[in-house]
Amino acid sequence: MAVLKSMTRKSIEALPSGHSWAVPHDPFPLDDSNGHDEVFPGAHCVSDGKWATFYKDGEEVWACNAVYAAAHFDFSALP
């Protein structure tokens, strides 16, 4: 009899509160409709720990929840 291994789901922590520079992960076919193209190649991100809003030239270009942001973008802290 085969023994099935238990699959574990990777836990992703929400993006913490603060300002950062966001860069989308490598694109995949569904990203364009998800707002990633508005953020590419990078954008200023403001998070309150629950919601992340992305800005270019002072204009909001996209927003998503902080867990989605943490899973799909790389962040560098801004001063």
Q: In the chain, what are the domain boundaries?
A: 18-77
**Which pLDDT score, from 0 to 100, does residue 36 have?**
75
Residues 47 and 6: their CA atoms lie apart, in Å, by 34
What torsion do the CA atoms of 31, 42, 60, 51 make, to the nearest 10 degrees?
70
Token pair of 11, please? 């836990």
Are 55 and 61 in contact by the 8 Å Cβ rule? The answer is: yes
Cis peptide before 79 (omega within 30 of 0): no
pTM equals 0.78
Residue 47 pLDDT exceeds 80? yes
Q: What is the mean pLDDT of residues 42-65?
A: 96
